[in-house]
Structure 1
Amino acid sequence: MFNPLSNRAKPANLEALKAALQAALESADQEELPGLRRAIRIVEDFVPSGGVAGVDWARNVLALAGIDPRTAEVKAVRELRTARPDLGLKEAVALVKALTAH
């Protein structure tokens, strides 16, 4: 499975990829449309909309890293902040707490 975070892809690189895919979508022919739409959805799983990290995004990042937020909270917070350097400490902690509350 393709894993853009396996090489520590930076969120800005993923944003650029998403923008490039959306630009390609505008000039795509009918045969290319389904594949490009799917590619955009895959990238969106790793690039939270509006630049704000969400619980689904955090769950994906931690699952790909093999980190259980219930047993390794500090490591989970660190991983989220590594995956998205602009994520504040309070926001990362809140995301981990939200994941462990379920």
Structure 2
Amino acid sequence: MTEEITFEDFLKVDIRVGTIIEVNDFPKARKPAYQLIIDFGDLGTKKSSAQITDLYSKEELLNRQVTAIVNFKSRQIANFMSQCLILGVYNTDGNVVLLQASKPTKNGEQVS
């Protein structure tokens, strides 16, 4: 377990549901990755780089709802500016399994 935090610390993390509306290969990434554009409803769209090519095809990702932290500072990855962090769990093989709501949810809804 990492360092214990307070509930106030948790409230600083803005986790939202969004729908992937565009998926592109990311050949300049150091590890295999996709460039994603995600629709967060009233928050607009945000870009993300995701190392999920082992478990997900571009076709599987398109129109898939995901959860992401949307209030991280943007991060330059090669020639791409990543604006949010998609959430997932590392499985026993070291691949990322995406976290998502169990029912369809309105884009931009906040996780609490």
Structure 1 length as normaliser, TM-score? Answer: 0.28
More strand by share: 2
More helix by share: 1
Does 1 or 2 have the higher relative contact order (CA < 8 Å, sep 6+)?
2
The structure that has the greater radius of gyration is 1
